[in-house]
Amino acid sequence: MLSLPQPPPTGIRNQDTTSLSDPTYHQLFSVIRMAHKYQCEALLELCVAYLKRFYHDSFDGWRDNSTCMSPPRFERIHAIGVVNLARLLGHPKMLPSVLMACCLLDAEIADGFAREDGTPPRGERQGDAPHPAPRDGTVLYSFHWDWTWTAYVEWADTRRELCPRCFEMLGKGGRQKDQHLEIFGRLPDMMGIKVDHWGKTAEEIEALTATQTDGEADG
């Protein structure tokens, strides 16, 4: 009974299968709530794995519009609910990107959203929705990287007065990437939260942990 939507039986045709692989926020929330109540760890892991496809600490993933803060059947306002889910599930690495998604909301963040039965989620009553903002005053209009400088140059430099080498320096592999990587590294602090090993792979965390353990043993 407690399971994520599964593919349809073989032979069924002409059916919209979008919801089978990509649940709505309300569907996923219901599954997580039931799995958490009855301690169905395997099912919770499936739900976490799905959310981590979109709310994660992979810089390369952040540079890909299709995997950044955009579950296909979630509405933008549902980022408020995902904040609570990340905390409930104990996965702080999801929080910086979720809070960033909240930052990209308009005034609607003040009203929150209603569950399917019309009631507001706990902790998301009117006026009590999260209001994250970069701590250092930096304005970030989007983390769906759109390579703003190269797009601007394409529009402004119609006569191609900027040499190809300089254009490349501004592009995806140049200064824009360096700037985005620097901002990405500071994202937890900008969102006002502490996240251990932000942006590091499992292999990097393992190596760092081993180094710390060796240092403690030598000491």
pLDDT tens column, 26-61: 999 999 999 999 999 999 999 999 999 999 998 887
Domain ranges of the chain: 20-198
Output the pTM of the full model.
0.70
pLDDT tens column, 63-90: 766 667 889 999 989 999 999 999 999 9
The three state secondary structure string of the chain is CCCCCCCCCCCCCCCCCHHHHCCCHHHHHHHHHHHHHCCCHHHHHHHHHHHHCCCCCCHHHHCCHHHCCCCCCCCHHHHHHHHHHHHHHCCHHHHHHHHHHHHCCCHHHHCCCCCCCCCCCCCCCCCCCCCCCCCCCCCCCCCCCCCHHHHHHHHHCCCCCCCHHHHHHHCCCCHHHHHHHHHHHCHHHHCCCCCCCCCCCHHHHHHHHHHHHHHHHHC
pLDDT tens column, 5-32: 555 554 444 444 344 589 999 999 999 9
Residue 51: the pLDDT is 95
